[in-house]
Amino acid sequence: MRPVHSLLKRQLKRHLNVEDPGALPPEWRPFLESINEAYHQSDADRVMIERSMELSSQELLSINALTKERERRLRTLLENVSLVAVGLDKDGRVEYANPFYLKLTGFSEADVLGQPWFDRFVVGGTGGQTHQAFRRIMESEFFPQYENVILRKDGEERRISWNTTLLRDEKGDIIGTLSIGEDITDKLKLQQQMIDNEKARTIAQLAGGVAHEVKNPLAVLLQGLEYFIRQIDFGDNKIIPAILKDMQHAVLRADSIIKGLLDLSRPPQMSLKPENINPILENSYLLLKNNFDRRHIRLEWKLDPALPMVVVDKEKLLQVFINLFNNASEAMSQGGGVITVCTSTVKSEGGHCVVTVIEDTGSGIPPDVMSRIFDPFFTTKRGQGGTGLGLPIVKNIMQLHGGTIEIRNRKEGGAHVRLEFPVRKINQMAMGFAEQG
């Protein structure tokens, strides 16, 4: 038999006043033994339970530490990557925005936390495509990769390619989303530039060929018409000479289209000088003033008198502004309208930019043609004198200046054209001149 358990000993003493169980009647023995056994057994059980409890609490602790460590790593990752990370709650409010997002957009944490993401920070807003994607993610747990355009604090737009994952609580219920996105704005711009360059090369190749093939027949037509006009006496007939004149004009018009095409394809011969944009704008207008006055088109000037100089080819800029003024005026109805010209300086990535905005009160650009207005020969004025080379030439010239052009419609109607010219430092200017030879 096992030694008598201390608890059994104590109870024998208290209730029966015996020290030694051997002094008790022998028929009690099996009973006492099984009680003794039970005490020992319960001791063993207790030890086991205690052990296992101790173990599991250690495990819990280490699991907890692990989770914390994982969380910490994830956070460090999100804090340091050059990727945008945004966490939203179930309702699409911002719960987390990483430093890269804040740096990219210029918002502070206080600006964004708790705010409705789609309403405030996404182009297209609530109900827009991305908001719908968010709802789809929440409802069907389907994780599409998608792109959208987010707004910076200064209103500039950045295109982001997003990957989104669902966040759940311990019970497995969905509590929101975490999205990581890449800013692909510059990549796209570069791609677009490459496409543009490719286009320009193709046009240049085409232009030479087309010019030769078309100008010869035009020359034949012109010489033939001239022969009729000079050599034939039409007597009283006024109709035939008028028709011949019309035909002559048509030939010259065709020739001017070829000329535009050749202009577009020419390697740039720039004569760059530091200039103030304001007088170039005013001079462009003076060239058109008579025509504009007749058509009740008024200009409103908002020129910044303290505009810094930019390095540009004055003649080429005249052409830019004339093309844009013409487009604006051609978009106005019979009653005329107002063209607002505004110049200003803004801070940009590499320094400063001179911005010129030309707004009109015309028809605006039909949304379905917006993507094509810079394509050579795209025009909605076919048969009314439009060749569709105005904006391609403008874009070309802006690119030659390292500048940009953006066109959109105004909420109030009419078009909004924004030109940006980089303000280069003096030494960069000198380099520019050296390149010019």
Ligand X SMILES: Nc1ncnc2c1ncn2[C@@H]1O[C@H](COP(=O)(O)OP(=O)(O)OP(=O)(O)O)[C@@H](O)[C@H]1O
Nearer to another protein, 217 or 350 (CB): 217
| 415 sits near ligand X (criterion: CB under 6 A) | yes
Which amino acid, 17?
Answer: N
C-alpha span between 122 and 49 (Å, rounded): 57
Applying CB under 5 A, the site for Mg ion has a residue count of 2
Partner from another protein, Mg ion, ligand X, none binding residue 380, C-beta < 5-8 Å depending on class: ligand X
CA dist 158 and 150 (Å) reads 5
Residue number, 327 or 396, with CB nearest to Mg ion: 327
Closest separation in Å from C-beta 251 to another protein: 7
Among 13-21, 88-96, 217-225, 389-397, the segment contacting another protein (CB under 8 A): 217-225
Q: Which is nearer to ligand X, 223 or 384 (CB)?
A: 384
Closest distance to ligand X from the beta carbon of 414 (Å):
7
- The nearest distance, CB 114 to ligand X, in angstroms, is 41
Backbone angles phi, psi at 425, to 5 degrees: -70, 160
From the list Mg ion, ligand X, another protein, none, pick the one residue 255 interacts with, judged by a Cβ distance below 5 to 8 Å according to partner type.
another protein
293-332 residues in contact with Mg ion (CB under 5 A) are 327
Residue with tokens 């003649």: 315
Q: How far is CA 423 from CA 344, 420, 427, in A?
A: 12, 9, 12
Binding-residue pattern over the window 334 to 373 for ligand X, x denoting contact by CB under 6 A: --------------------------x-xxxx---x---x
E strands, 20-156, are 84-89, 94-97, 146-151
The strand pairing partners of 122, in sequence order, are 150
User: Looking at beta carbons only, is 135 or 253 nearer to Mg ion?
Assistant: 253
Does residue 340 contact residue 281 with C-beta atoms inside 8 Å?
Answer: no
> Smallest distance, Å, CB 108 to Mg ion?
44
Quick one: which of 381, 401, 384, 328 has its CA closest to 359? Answer: 328
Question: Could you say which of ligand X, Mg ion, another protein, none residue 116 binds, taking C-beta under 5 to 8 angstroms by partner kind?
Answer: none
Which C-beta is closer to ligand X: that of 163 or that of 326? 326
Helical (H) or strand (E) element with 182: strand 174-183
Residues whose CB falls within 8 Å of the CB of residue 100, separated by 6 or more in sequence, listed in order = 81, 82, 83, 84, 85
CA–CA gap between residue 145 and residue 129 (Å, rounded): 13
- Crossing angle for the helix pair 29-80 and 6-16, nearest 10 degrees? 140
Size of the site for another protein (CB under 8 A): 23
Torsion angle, alpha carbons of 14, 15, 21, 23, to 10: 110
Q: How far is the CB of 201 from ligand X (least distance, A)?
A: 20
| Site residues, ligand X (CB under 6 A) | 323, 327-328, 331, 360, 362-365, 369, 373, 378-381, 386-391, 415
| Site residues, another protein (CB under 8 A) | 208, 211-212, 214-216, 218-224, 226-227, 230-231, 251, 255, 258-259, 262-263
